[in-house]
């Protein structure tokens, strides 16, 4: 069951370096919320705070009715919070299917003794986990790579494997950290299709850090913008991407016209 994620005035600092200040948003059921901003805006730091990799200096984070601000990463993952990483962070020496099976660890409910004896309920549970992984492989068109070692695969396919591993957790909320970075045009189109299927078929809330503004404009339900760690805009894509403050954050103080970046070939340009 999908749960809403809520951040209340979350701030983060490392010594005298302020990374985030008063970040606040809440996901909605089945919503694709894009988290955007210039390089260094603090987008990945927000995801790290949610996942427990960083501990917020101030503010609170809730998953459903439960506060997760002080939980450890594995505890948060067990609640159903899954994420991808910018660089995959896969087990390179394992095969694709083995990487996805690692993600099923949060769903294991059998006891150690029963596993050691390989009792019938353990065998049944293992079959269920493998069945779930096979469904994800089919969902992400990775069936032909199932027995390939990750370090033998192109970077773009590795990124899709990282995406598939997060799905294998059967998450209640999905955090995507620049999943399109390094992908070819065709791979980006496939990724967009997977994201839309998650949204419409599974109804899983998604918080999506992304630099490809055309993808954001096409897919996002709502956009939340950070600049130097502070929120500067929130709302529907058309409104946010035409916001002068957002345009200045991306293009600099000299920017005047919202459509100035329309003909740029840079994927970070506002559409």
Q: Is the confidence at residue 139, as pLDDT, over 50?
A: yes
Share above pLDDT 70 across residues of the chain, in percent, rounded to a whole number: 83
Q: Is the confidence at residue 232, as pLDDT, over 60?
A: yes
Q: Is the confidence at residue 216, as pLDDT, over 70?
A: yes
Q: Is the confidence at residue 260, as pLDDT, over 50?
A: no
SS3 253: coil
Residue 98 burial (C-beta neighbours within 10 Å; 0-12, 13-18, 19+): middle
Which of 13-27, 71-85, 86-100 comes out lowest in average pLDDT? 86-100
Strand arrangement of the beta sheet that strand 173-177 belongs to: 81-83, 173-177, 206-209, 32-36, 222-227, 230-235
What gap in Å lies between CA 107 and CA 117, rounded to an integer? 19
Confidence of residue 164 (pLDDT cuts 50, 70, 90): very high
Average pLDDT for residues 68-81, to the nearest whole number?
Answer: 92
Among 212-216, 218-222, 255-259, name the most confident range.
Answer: 218-222
Average pLDDT for residues 194-205, to the nearest whole number?
Answer: 90
Average pLDDT for residues 125-137, to the nearest whole number?
Answer: 80
Residues in CB range of 82: below 8 A, 6 or more apart: 103, 166, 167, 169, 171, 173, 174, 175
- pLDDT score of 243: 93
Q: What is the tens place of the pLDDT at every residue in 183-193?
A: 888 989 999 99
Share above pLDDT 90 across residues of the chain, in percent, rounded to a whole number: 60
- pLDDT score of 105: 73
**For 66, which DSSP code?**
E
Contact yes or no for 173/81 (Cβ under 8 A): yes
Mean pLDDT rounded to a whole number for the chain? 85
């Amino acid at each position: 069951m999908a749960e809403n994620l809520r951040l209340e005035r979350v701030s983060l600092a490392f010594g005298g370096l302020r990374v985030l200040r008063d970040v606040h948003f809440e996901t909605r059921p089945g919503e694709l919320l894009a988290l955007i901003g210039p390089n260094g805006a603090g987008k990945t730091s927000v995801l790290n705070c949610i996942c427990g990799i960083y501990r917020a200096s101030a503010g609170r984070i809730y998953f459903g009715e439960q506060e997760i601000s002080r939980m450890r990463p594995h505890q948060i993952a067990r609640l159903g919070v899954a994420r991808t990483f910018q660089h995959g962070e896969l087990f390179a020496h394992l095969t694709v299917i083995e990487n996805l099976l690692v993600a099923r660890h949060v769903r294991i409910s059998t006891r150690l003794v029963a596993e050691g004896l390989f009792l019938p309920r353990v065998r049944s549970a293992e079959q269920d986990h493998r069945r779930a992984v096979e469904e994800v492989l089919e969902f992400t068109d990775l069936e032909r790579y199932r027995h390939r070692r990750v370090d033998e695969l192109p970077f773009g396919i590795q990124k899709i494997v990282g995406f598939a591993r997060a799905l294998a957790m059967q998450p209640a909320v999905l955090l995507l950290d620049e999943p399109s970075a390094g992908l070819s045009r065709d791979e980006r189109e496939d990724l967009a299709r997977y994201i839309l299927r998650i949204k419409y078929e599974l109804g899983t809330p998604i918080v999506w850090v992304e630099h490809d503004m055309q993808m954001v404009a096409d897919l996002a339900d709502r956009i939340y913008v950070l600049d130097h760690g502070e929120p500067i805009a929130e709302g529907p894509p058309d409104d946010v991407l035409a916001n002068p403050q957002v345009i200045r954050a991306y293009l600099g103080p000299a920017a005047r016209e919202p459509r100035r970046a329309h003909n740029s070939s840079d994927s970070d340009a506002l559409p």
